Amino acid sequence: MIDGFWIATLVLLAMTFGVIYFRYATDNVVSNWPLVYYGFAVVHLQFYPEGMTQNLVFTSIVAAMFIRFEFMAGFFLKAVQIVEYACLLWMAYQMFRILF
């Protein structure tokens, strides 16, 4: 059944893949667009708390904020990016499971 929850989850799933593509295709680590996405993810989490795991969403937000620090480079930056990719992919899996 298609309702507001289904549409919001579908839009957030599309935005998740957009953020993954944006992070992978560009090396722009100081962009605000992923943080805007995480704002929408938190709003989705507040309206539908049974949808996604809170710890996963907030871990992903912390990783995105760490990526924005200017002094990060090398191994630590790659490790934090891998954590963010893993969280985003798991969030996408959870949303896909909700939808289908």
Which pLDDT tens digit goes with each residue over 58-68?
999 999 999 88
Phi, psi of 74 (to 5 degrees): 70, -140
What pLDDT was estimated at residue 79?
A: 93
Please say if the pLDDT value at position 55 is more than 80: yes
pTM for this prediction: 0.91
Q: How far apart are CA 25 and CA 31, in angstroms?
A: 13
The domain locations on the chain are 4-99
Which pLDDT tens digit goes with each residue over 1-40?
789 999 999 999 999 999 999 999 987 777 889 999 999 9
CB 65 within 8 A of CB 84: no
CB 84 within 8 A of CB 23: yes
**What's the rounded mean pLDDT across residues 69-77?**
80
Q: How far apart are CA 85 and CA 20, in angstroms?
A: 7
As to burial, measured by CB atoms within 10 angstroms (0-12 exposed, 13-18 middle, 19+ buried), residue 46 is exposed
